[in-house]
């Protein structure tokens, strides 16, 4: 059974000038121990999807339709108190900026011990022992001394390790990581990605990795969902999506990334920009920018349909489906 099921999720922002639909019928599953990448450009709705799952949508944003199931239990309708028990215990979260995820006034040890004791029935000494173990596992040297240090005494990369330790403290089954390496330098980014991948595999935790970096996705994930304008454009095994993209948007996105191994004179470019929520074109949201657009794209909105080894929301694959 899937660990996490997201079915027809709709997120809306009511405003004075009408309601803006930011996520429009998103569905996907995450299997236990699986790493699912969610990739897209700014404003595609990838962070919003993560926020909806961990129950941290910023008001006035609200879930207006669909459901989210964690191990078969519905979690999108839970009240704040019940959700707080799930967050941390069953879903861990890692955010982009490690400095804002940590409380600057508490030592990292206190934050870890507090988290462990809040979710697990262990004594203080045992919690401290576990906290030191977590810091060691995340590759922090001299963990016995570092545990009493404050966040500002750690470098950016080390802080992100502490945040990962914190997310894993209560042994959750799912980690939602929203751009965990974006604020870090490339050499540190490689360290953190390797750590995240190995530590989650060792503990059997599934990961939903939200990022705009296709390279990080390629190296880390089992499957990837490509988002565009609040919908999933394509979802499938990473290798297939990267090497045989079925959706013209995925293909364009892949071609637009400068490749370190190839010399090219001009980069492929997708003209135009992603539409803003509230001004989504009719039919397929990508049709004004799509090089392979035809009549049906302008009027009918495509749902995800089988396309080779992946599933894509694109009418080019309609005949195959029929």
Partner 1 sequence: MSLVEARDLAKTFDVSPPWLNRVLERKPRQLLHAVDGVSFEIEKGKTLALVGESGCGKSTVARLLVGLYEPTRGSLVFDGQDAHAVFKTAAGSDLRKRIQMIFQDPYASLNPRWTVEAIVGEPLTEHGLITDAAALKQRVGELLISVGLRASDMAKYPHQFSGGQRQRISIARALATEPEFLVCDEPTSALDVSVQAQVLNIMKELQRKRGLTYLFISHNLAVVRHVSDQVGVMYLGRLVELADKHTLFAVPRHPYTRMLLDAIPKMHDTGRARTPVQGEVPNPLDPPEGCAFNPRCPHANARCRAERPVLLDIGGVKIACHAVQEGRIVPESNFVATNA
Instruction: Tell me the window of 79-87, 95-103, 115-123, 213-221 that interacts with partner 1 (CB under 8 A).
Output: 213-221
**Residue 161 Cβ, how far from partner 1 at the closest point, in Å?**
11
Name the segment binding partner 1 (CB under 8 A); options: 12-20, 115-123, 163-171, 239-247: 239-247
**Contact flag: residue 31 with partner 1 (CB under 8 A):** no
Compute the distance between CA of residue 133 and CA of residue 129 in angstroms, rounded to an integer.
6
Element (H, E) at 14: strand 4-15
Helices (H) and strands (E) in the chain, counts: 13, 12
List for the chain the helix, strand, coil content (%; round to 5).
40, 25, 40
Is residue 99 involved in binding partner 1 (CB under 8 A)?
Answer: no
| Those residues with Cβ within 8 angstroms of residue 79's Cβ, 6 or more apart along the chain or in another chain | none
Minimum CB separation of residue 195 from partner 1 in Å reads 9
Closest CB to partner 1 among residues 98, 157 = 157
d(CA 31, CA 35): 8
Residue from 34, 137, 213, 234 binding partner 1 (CB under 8 A) = 213
Q: Could you tell me the two tokens for 215?
A: 């390279």
CB of 190 to partner 1, least distance (A): 4
Binding flag, residue 270, partner 1 (CB under 8 A) = yes
The window from 24-32, 85-93, 103-111, 214-222 that contacts partner 1 (CB under 8 A) reads 214-222
Interaction of residue 142 with partner 1, rule CB under 8 A: no
**Paired tokens of 277:** 């929520």
Closest CB to partner 1 among residues 188, 293:
188
Residue 51 CA: distances (Å) to CA of 45, 172, 233, 282: 10, 17, 20, 27
Residue listed under structure tokens 């492929």: 268
The residue written with tokens 């490509």 in the block is: 226
Is residue 155 at the binding interface for partner 1, with CB under 8 A as the rule?
yes
Q: State the Cα–Cα distance between residues 195 and 205, nearest whole angstrom.
A: 13
The reply on whether position 281 binds partner 1 by CB under 8 A is no
List the x/- string, 176-195, binding to partner 1 by CB under 8 A. ---------xxxxxxx-xx-
Distances (CA, A) of 224 to 36, 209, 245, 289, 313: 5, 9, 11, 22, 14
Residue 61 Cβ vs partner 1, minimum distance, rounded to whole Å: 22
Report the interface residues with partner 1, using CB under 8 A: 41-42, 155, 157-158, 185-191, 193-194, 212-216, 218-219, 238-239, 242-243, 252-254, 256-271, 273-274
């Amino acid at each position: 059974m899937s660990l996490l099921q997201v079915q027809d999720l709709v997120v809306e922002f009511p405003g004075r000038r009408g309601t803006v639909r930011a996520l429009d019928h998103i569905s996907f599953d995450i299997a236990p121990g699986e790493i699912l990448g969610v990739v897209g450009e700014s404003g595609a709705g990838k962070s919003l999807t993560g926020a909806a799952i961990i129950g941290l949508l910023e008001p006035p944003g609200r879930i207006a339709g669909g459901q989210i199931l964690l191990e078969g239990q519905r979690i999108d309708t839970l009240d704040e108190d019940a959700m707080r028990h799930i967050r941390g215990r069953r879903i861990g979260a890692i955010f982009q900026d490690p400095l804002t995820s940590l409380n600057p006034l508490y030592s990292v040890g206190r934050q870890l011990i507090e988290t462990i004791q809040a979710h697990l029935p262990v004594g203080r000494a045992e919690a401290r022992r576990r906290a030191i173990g977590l810091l060691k596992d995340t590759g922090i040297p001299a963990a016995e001394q570092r545990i009493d240090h404050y966040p500002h005494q750690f470098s950016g990369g080390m802080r992100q390790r502490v945040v990962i330790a914190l997310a894993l403290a209560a042994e959750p089954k799912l980690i939602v990581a929203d751009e965990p390496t974006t604020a870090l330098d490339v050499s540190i980014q490689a360290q953190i990605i390797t750590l995240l991948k190995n530590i989650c595999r060792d503990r059997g935790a599934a990961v939903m990795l939200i990022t705009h970096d296709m390279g990080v996705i390629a190296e880390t994930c089992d499957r990837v969902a490509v988002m565009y304008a609040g919908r999933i454009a394509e979802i499938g095994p990473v290798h297939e999506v990267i090497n045989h993209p079925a959706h013209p948007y995925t293909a364009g996105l892949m071609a637009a990334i400068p490749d370190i191994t190839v010399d090219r004179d001009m980069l492929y470019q997708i003209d135009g920009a992603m539409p803003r929520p509230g001004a989504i074109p009719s039919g397929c949201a990508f049709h004004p920018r799509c090089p392979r657009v035809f009549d049906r794209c302008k009027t009918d909105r495509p749902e995800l349909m089988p396309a080779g080894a992946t599933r894509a929301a694109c009418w080019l694959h309609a005949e195959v489906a029929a």
